[in-house]
Amino acid sequence: MAGAFVRMTDLDLEGKRVLIREDLNAPVKDGRVTSDMRLLAALPTLRSAVEQRARVLVLSHLGRPKEGVFDAAFSLAPVAARLAELLERDVPLVADWLDGVDIAPGDIALGENVRFNPGEKANDSSLAKRMALLCDVFVMDAFATAHRAEASTSGVAALAPVACAGPLLAAELEALAAALENPRRPLVAIIGGAKVSGKLEVLQSLAARVDELILGGGIANTLLAASGVAVGRSLMERDMLKFAADLLAGKFGKAAIPLPTDVIVGPNLEPDARGQLKKVREIGPADMILDIGPETAEHYAERLQRAGTIVWNGPLGVFEHPQFAAGTRRIAAAVAESHAFSIAGGGDTLAAIEQFGVSERISYASTGGGAFLEFLEGKPLPAVEALKARSGAAS
């Protein structure tokens, strides 16, 4: 499947105008990038194009600005500055790049936020055409935006003289395919996070494909409630109870879904809220579940030790607060210690594995949040589909 498109590594880029779509949508605070993760992931692609003496114009979005108006809060200026430091070369930020940018062979520039252009999100074809005119080769490398059918992701891929997959996009797709298409079993998915409603489809699809589904956060609370446990004031979605009961009853698939037997509760989400260990049957009406307990964490860890493949999206508790971090920490350690092929994705999950110092021991850290989940759901990624549709035309 990952072979069904032209790859950047198949092409000779020397002297060519190469337009590279990356996802450099990084967190920015006070004019500085606060996590380099997505920039670091893009570096090998950018370096390779520059080393081949291509004329490199990089595109990305940042946040969700209103189209048609410049807003400094969504400028890629901090990203250009950080990219220049990481690449150890000038990376000028080009404000008006749609009419063409003069870039010398072996040089690189960054176009200002693609989402300032009217028509970007709606995948307007005349906007995509203008982007296509800027290049000889379009490189789609933004795995984390591959689930968006936008002008700079899939529109331009359909219209550029040549369109190919960048090394990062190809590597992400290969890692995910290795985990899901022919996995070493047992295949265990860890899905945490606040809301069942946000992960409905992924839970449904994973129930049919994985051997074990380990849940945390508000998602686990809703399943606990559906199993008859009183969860007090815990984050829980009443209108998802039916779905949760169906999931537990095996309506969507045969995955084993162990539930927490003990939890850490607190009175609220304040940073100084005191945590208290309780069995799930002891949860009081004023309690909020803010982490899994040690017995549950050990039980989950044992299952992870036996896993052949692990996919992980979402923390198991409020790990930003030390008193509610132990569950996510134990799971991170178990994933790191296991011999499984492990993939983690999503901003919170990567922040957690970084906080607990296990990043190096996870087999693959995906840059994708929404794209990672959509892949897990088994949905086609529109920007990848656009590349596949071109594969005959370009070879």
Active site residues: 38, 195, 347, 370
Q: Which residue has the tokens 């070879």?
A: 395
* C-alpha dihedral sign at 304, 305, 309, 314: positive
Nearer to ligand 3PG, 97 or 143 (CB): 143
Nearer to ligand 3PG, 55 or 61 (CB): 61
Nearer to Mg ion, 194 or 241 (CB): 194
- Binding region for ligand 3PG (CB under 6 A) out of 13-21, 143-151, 282-290, 310-318: 143-151
Does 198 help bind ligand 3PG (rule: CB under 6 A)? Answer: no
Contact criterion met (CB below 8 Å) for 356 and 329: yes
Contact criterion met (CB below 8 Å) for 180 and 208: no
Question: Residue 279 CB, nearest distance to Mg ion (Å)?
Answer: 36
Identify which of 388, 368, 393 has the alpha carbon closest to the alpha carbon of residue 25. Answer: 368
Return the one option of Mg ion, ligand 3PG, none that residue 179 interacts with (CB less than 5 to 8 A, by type). none
- From residue 340, give the alpha-carbon distance in Å to each of 208, 303, 335, 352: 20, 11, 8, 19
Does 212 help bind ligand 3PG (rule: CB under 6 A)? Answer: no
Return the one option of Mg ion, ligand 3PG, none that residue 374 interacts with (CB less than 5 to 8 A, by type). none
Does 370 help bind Mg ion (rule: CB under 5 A)? Answer: yes
**Contacting residue, 22, 23, 112, 262, with ligand 3PG by CB under 6 A:** 23
User: d(Cα 89, Cα 98) in Å, to the nearest integer?
Assistant: 23
Nearer to Mg ion, 119 or 370 (CB): 370
- Binding region for ligand 3PG (CB under 6 A) out of 140-148, 249-257, 260-268, 313-321: 140-148
Does 25 help bind ligand 3PG (rule: CB under 6 A)? Answer: yes
Nearer to ligand 3PG, 300 or 312 (CB): 312
Q: Output the CA angle 314-316-321, nearest 5 degrees.
A: 105
Select the residue whose beta carbon is closest to ligand 3PG and give its number.
25
**Contacting residue, 21, 82, 148, 390, with ligand 3PG by CB under 6 A:** 148
Q: Is residue 370 classed as helix, strand or coil in its secondary structure?
A: helix
Tokens of 362: 């996870």
Identify which of 20, 18, 21, 22 has the alpha carbon closest to the alpha carbon of residue 367. Answer: 22
The set of residues, in sequence order, having a beta carbon less than 8 Å from that of 319 and lying 6+ positions away, is 291, 325, 327, 328, 329, 352, 355
Does 161 help bind Mg ion (rule: CB under 5 A)? Answer: no
Contact criterion met (CB below 8 Å) for 315 and 348: yes
Task: Specify the pairing of strand 55-59 against strand 108-111.
Answer: parallel
Does 117 help bind ligand 3PG (rule: CB under 6 A)? Answer: no
What mask of x and - would describe binding to Mg ion in positions 311 to 350, judged by CB under 5 A? ----------------------------------------
Helices and strands per DSSP (H, E), number in the chain: 13, 16
Question: Residue 145 CB, nearest distance to Mg ion (Å)?
Answer: 9
Contact criterion met (CB below 8 Å) for 164 and 10: yes
Return the one option of Mg ion, ligand 3PG, none that residue 187 interacts with (CB less than 5 to 8 A, by type). none
User: d(Cα 351, Cα 246) in Å, to the nearest integer?
Assistant: 32
**Contacting residue, 15, 232, 253, 370, with ligand 3PG by CB under 6 A:** 370
Q: Is residue 98 classed as helix, strand or coil in its secondary structure?
A: coil
- Binding region for Mg ion (CB under 5 A) out of 19-27, 211-219, 328-336, 363-371: 363-371
Select the residue whose beta carbon is closest to Mg ion and give its number.
370
Does 192 help bind ligand 3PG (rule: CB under 6 A)? Answer: no
Does 369 help bind ligand 3PG (rule: CB under 6 A)? Answer: yes
Task: Characterise 307 by phi-psi region: left (phi > 0), alpha (psi -120 to 50), beta (else).
Answer: beta
Task: Specify the pairing of strand 276-279 against strand 28-29.
Answer: unpaired
Task: Report the interface residues with ligand 3PG, using CB under 6 A.
Answer: 23, 25, 64, 144-145, 148, 369-370
Task: Report the interface residues with Mg ion, using CB under 5 A.
Answer: 370
